[in-house]
Amino acid sequence: MVKLKLGVLISGRGSNLASLIEACSQDDYPAEIVLVLSNRKDAKGLERARAAHIPAQVITHAEFADRDAFDAALTEALAQAGVELICLAGFMRLLGTDFVTRWTDRIINIHPSLLPAFRGLHVHERAIEAGVRLSGCTVHYVRPEVDDGPIIIQAAVPVLANDDAARLAARILEAEHKIYPEAVRLIASGRATLQHDTVMLEVSRDTQAPLINPPIKD
């Protein structure tokens, strides 16, 4: 099996990186991680990568004169590693338009809301404040606008009456760990393709019950 070569960009603990590492350890998984990049030397995710014998590199944004120079260094490292799909996994730097254009349709991101709702930061606080009954997470292709781009997969998570941001975030993170590897699987297997900036899926069409919160009693 020819496997899709992934480059994973991180800034922190790398929990979504860990879910991708676990998926890639399966013989029948159609992708492999060939490089992990971090903009922070103290990112815990670097330890996860090295423990899994995955090449890991630090490119510190503070060492560059501007964002374009930093983005160019990222591109050089990714290209040298033969990366075919970039996975943003808690990468806390905005990527420039030139970088996103250079890697168009080859960058995906995971965001802790049901996009297009609650783009940006402080997502869980805003969801609770808005009184939504369902939140969740989204894997999408990256476009120059923040948290914008064709949606690949989503998971809905109920917002409970006693939730604070931390509790809601923890439950949504569990869902992230499930859908990010699945998004990569769909792309790498050719079952998710882009047509006119919309993701077309070749998946089972079995009807699923709606997720309703609060639940309707029989």
pLDDT in tens, 1-44: 899 999 999 999 999 999 999 999 999 999 999 999 999 999 99
Bridge partners, 38 (sequence order): 10, 58
Apex 191 CA angle, 187 and 196, nearest 5 = 80
The closest alpha carbon to 142, from 99, 81, 84, 201, belongs to 99
Apex 153 CA angle, 152 and 158, nearest 5 = 150
Helix axes 123-130, 165-188, angle to 10 degrees: 110
Mean pLDDT of 171-183: 98
Name the pTM for this structure: 0.96
> Would you tell me which CATH number, out of the four given (3.30.70.100, 3.40.50.300, 3.30.565.10, 3.40.50.170), belongs to the domain 109-203?
3.40.50.170
- Catalytically active residues are 111
pLDDT exceeds cutoff 90 at 218: no
Q: pLDDT tens digit string along 95-136?
A: 999 999 999 999 999 999 999 999 999 999 999 999 999 999
For residue 205, name the pLDDT band (cuts at 50, 70, 90). low
pLDDT exceeds cutoff 90 at 206: no
Mean pLDDT of the chain: 96
The closest alpha carbon to 183, from 136, 142, 137, 139, belongs to 139
Apex 60 CA angle, 57 and 64, nearest 5 = 130
| Cα distance between residue 144 and residue 165, in whole Å | 28
What are φ and ψ of residue 74, in 5° steps?
Answer: -60, -45
pLDDT exceeds cutoff 90 at 174: yes
**CATH 3.40.50.170 location in the chain:** 1-103, 109-203
The label of the residue with tokens 């077309």 reads 200
pLDDT for the residue 203: 78
The CA radius of gyration of the chain, in Å to the nearest whole number, is 18
pLDDT exceeds cutoff 90 at 217: no
Share of the chain above pLDDT 70, in %: 98
The closest alpha carbon to 84, from 167, 5, 199, 194, belongs to 5
Q: Which fold has domain 1-103?
A: Rossmann fold (3.40.50)
